[in-house]
Amino acid sequence: MTDATARHPRWSLALHGGAGSMTPDILGPEMQDAYRDALGTALDAGTAVLRRGGSALDAVEAAVMALEDDPLFNAGRGAVFTFEGKNELDAAIMDGATLSAGSATGLLRTKNPVRAARAVMEETLHVMLANDGANRFAEEQGIEQVDPAYFATAERRRQWEEFSQKKDAWFDTDLKYGTVGAVARDADGHVAAATSTGGLTGKRWGRVGDSPVIGAGTYADDRSCAISATGTGETFIELAAGHEIGARMRMLNETVEEAVAAVLTELGAKGGNGGVIYAGADGTTGFAFNTPGMYRARADADGMRETAIFAGE
């Protein structure tokens, strides 16, 4: 399923809070309202930056931080538990103007992992930092640290305890991909993307999904578009999905909608589930997913503002 706008506004922003098996009969009216309000709060944070002439990079960081702070989503506060019962956080950010990028994986105390990812991009010569090194770096940069208990919520602990009863389970297989992300195009014509996640319930051995992998779950290039993905991380990595979308636009002269649809078709053929949000270099924004729903929202300089959860909205 795809959803896009062909208009070319001065600035635009799209965000997501994960794709998965959510349907109206599973997600009641009160929870639907709660998610829409949370998406609206993140949309406000990002559009406030763009309205005052700020950069796409600042806008996606602001939007993702708002989603990380909300316990409804599997990123930051509200992250799922690993096999060992911990919260391990991953994030990435990319600037389409320079193709500079940063990511951090295995964060344990950083309140807003997307800030650590941006610091990697701006304060080091590296692109990705992991585990102990990433945690030390975030502390050294003065990025706000919290007690690990901050991330744990009663609902996520319940999910982990339920998972723990499945003796042969590798990880959560119930199609609940709670990654969050944002993409934007600013008034100067630059695009950016950011993604943050707690991964999969029950992940083990330091598993890393697509969210912090530049070119897979996060990618931005002024020559094409900005992408943030959510879903079966291993498949997005195998397809280098984010980069593939941009490459199809540049090499095959496909529109962003065509490129996204082609990659999502390939993802499905490999058994992958999930979706992407995109912001084209022309300001086009949209969503594409092959699951029953995706928490999503978008806004632009022409006055468009919408939030949605289920397919067909």
Length of the chain: 313
Q: Token digits for 87? A: 């919260």
| φ, ψ at 267 (rounded to 5°) | -60, -50
Give the residue extent of every domain in the chain: 2-310
State the CB neighbour count (10 A cutoff) for residue 187. 17
Torsion sign over Cα 177, 62, 241, 276: positive
Q: Which residues contact 301 (CB under 8 A, 6 or more apart)?
A: 9, 10, 11, 12, 50, 51, 187
Q: Which residues contact 138 (CB under 8 A, 6 or more apart)?
A: 104, 107, 109, 110, 115, 116, 119, 145
The fold of the 2-310 domain, in CATH, is Glutamine Phosphoribosylpyrophosphate, subunit 1, domain 1 (3.60.20)
Q: Token digits for 77? A: 């506060």
What is the pTM for the complete model shown? Answer: 0.94
Q: Counting Cβ atoms within 10 Å, is residue 271 exposed (0-12), middle (13-18) or buried (19+)? A: exposed
State the CB neighbour count (10 A cutoff) for residue 61. 26
Cβ atoms of 42 and 67 closer than 8 Å = yes
Quote the strand ranges of the chain, DSSP E.
Answer: 2-4, 12-20, 89-95, 100-107, 128-130, 176-177, 180-185, 191-197, 218-220, 225-231, 274-280, 285-289, 293-300, 305-310
**CA pair distance 260, 3, nearest whole angstrom:** 11
Strands 100-107 and 128-130, sheet pairing: parallel
Measured distance between the N- and C-terminal CA atoms of the chain, rounded to whole angstroms? 11
Each residue's pLDDT expressed in tens, for the chain with a length of 313 residues: 556 545 578 999 999 999 988 889 989 999 999 999 999 999 999 999 999 999 999 999 999 999 999 999 999 999 998 888 899 999 999 999 999 999 999 999 999 999 999 999 999 999 999 999 999 999 999 999 999 999 998 888 887 777 777 655 555 544 455 799 999 999 999 999 999 999 888 888 999 999 999 999 999 999 999 999 999 999 999 999 999 999 999 999 999 999 999 999 999 999 999 999 999 999 999 999 999 999 999 999 999 999 999 998 8
Catalytic residues: 179
Helix (H, G, I), strand (E, B) or coil at 42: helix
